[in-house]
Amino acid sequence: MDQTNAMPLDREGFREVVRHPTAHALVLGNYRLGEYAGVVALDRLLGEMRPEGKLHQAMSIHHKDEGRHSQVFTDWIVRLDRTPQPFPTNVEGFFANSPEEFAEQRRLVEQLPPDLRRIIVFAGINAIERLAYNQFDVHLSCLDRKEDRDMLQSVIDEEKFHLSYVENELERQMNEAEQRLASKQGGGARFLKEEVTAEDVAEIVSRWTGIPVAKMMEGERERLTL
Ligand SMILES: [Fe+2]
Ligand SMILES: [Fe+2]
């Protein structure tokens, strides 16, 4: 089984969960919360980072998509005759071990030089998007009703777009950072390969998001690009 799945359940077991309305609504509630956290985080990033041109456009579409996804899962829970929970006020901190830890991680990231901070932010988004994509893919294969599959497929299609633009942007930033360092050192583009390894970045992202990115990267090497 793919080690990057957010919920390490076998498909048969997960199919049982999905057939049980209360359990299914709980799972959908987690997705809904994750999507909403994406809306809040992208709102903040769009304000803080002031990305331009195409990147701004892609991030704005992404922001709108996550709002729609959150609504898709809200409606789905209601259709299962369950009540969606109110959103927590500090939804980004909700996923950290504690609000203090989240504040401390944010502070650490904010102290980094802007180029490294940008890389880490996009590596974090990439990790979260990849988790969501993999999880939705498993979920899709466990749904009995065609209408449900079509609806989740429409979410997955938009997640594909998120992954592709975030991965492009991440690669572009890493290349730029390597070139900057190479020109400073007069040759030898070794920024992320020796001085700061991809594993170092993964370590920081994992501490920041609580997601085991290093583990995900192992699986990533065997994956085909979308
Ligand atoms: Fe989404
Ligand atoms: Fe997404």
Please report the domains of the chain, with CATH numbers, ordered by start residue: 11-220 (1.20.1260)
Interval between CA 155 and ligand 1 midpoint (Å): 6
User: Which of 7-21, 76-90, 192-206 is modeled with the greatest confidence?
Assistant: 76-90
Q: Using pLDDT thresholds of 50, 70 and 90, give the confidence band for residue 217.
A: low
Please give the residue that has the higher pLDDT: either 111 or 160: 160
Q: What's the CA gap between 176 and 191, in Å, rounded?
A: 10
CA of 67 to the centre of ligand 1 (A): 8
Residue 70: nearest ligand to its CA?
1
For the chain, the C-alpha Rg in angstroms (whole number) is 19
Question: What pLDDT, in 10s, does the model give residues 120-173?
Answer: 888 888 988 999 999 999 999 999 999 999 999 999 999 999 999 999 999 998
Task: Give the pLDDT score at 87.
Answer: 92
Question: pTM of the full predicted structure?
Answer: 0.77
| CA 79/CA 6 separation, integer angstroms | 24
Q: Average pLDDT for residues 8-15, to the nearest whole number?
A: 80
Res 90: pLDDT: 80
Residue 211, CB half-sphere, CA atoms under 13 Å: how many? 23
Distance 116 CA to ligand 1 centre (A): 25
Q: Please enumerate in sequence order all residues whose Cβ is within 8 A of that of 192, keeping only pairs 6 or more positions apart, or say none.
A: 174, 177, 178, 198, 201
* Listed range (27-36, 44-53, 137-146, 200-209) with the worst mean pLDDT: 200-209
Q: Measuring CA to CA, which residue among 129, 39, 37, 45 is closest to residue 92?
A: 37
Q: Is the confidence at residue 38, as pLDDT, over 80?
A: yes
Question: Looking at residue 1, what is its pLDDT?
Answer: 39
Q: What separation in Å is there between the alpha carbon of 162 and the centre of ligand 2?
A: 5
According to DSSP, residue 88 is labeled: P
Q: Percent of the chain beyond pLDDT 90? A: 44
Q: What is the mean pLDDT of residues 196-213?
A: 61
Q: Residue 226 pLDDT more than 60?
A: no
Measured in whole angstroms, how far is the alpha carbon of residue 149 from the centre of its chain?
Answer: 21
pLDDT at 213: 58
Instruction: State the distance from the centre of ligand 1 to the C-alpha of 184, rounded, in angstroms.
Output: 39
Ligand lying nearest the CA atom of residue 130: 2
Express as a percent the part of the chain with pLDDT over 70. 76
- Torsion sign, CA atoms 156, 53, 64, 92: positive
CB neighbours of residue 155 within 10 Å = 21
Distance 53 CA to ligand 1 centre (A): 22
pLDDT band at 175 (very low <50, low <70, confident <90, very high): confident
> What is the whole-number distance in angstroms between the Cα of residue 38 and the centre of ligand 2?
7
Q: Are 103 and 185 in contact (CB under 8 A)?
A: no
The average pLDDT across 213-225 equals: 50
Helices assigned H by DSSP within 4-113: 11-19, 21-49, 53-79, 91-94, 99-111
For the record, the structure tokens of 73 come out as 């899962």
Q: Compute CA 28 distance to the chain's CA centroid, rounded to the nearest angstrom.
A: 16
Closest CA to 101 of 207, 196, 225: 207
Q: Binning pLDDT at 50, 70 and 90, where does residue 67 land?
A: very high
In the reported structure, the alpha carbon of residue 120 is separated from the centroid of ligand 1 by a whole-number distance in angstroms of 20
Asked whether residue 193 carries a pLDDT value surpassing 70, the answer given is no
Question: CA 64, CA 42: separation in Å to the nearest integer?
Answer: 10
Q: Is the pLDDT of residue 32 over 80?
A: yes
Closest ligand to Cα 67:
1
pLDDT at residue 61 above 90?
yes
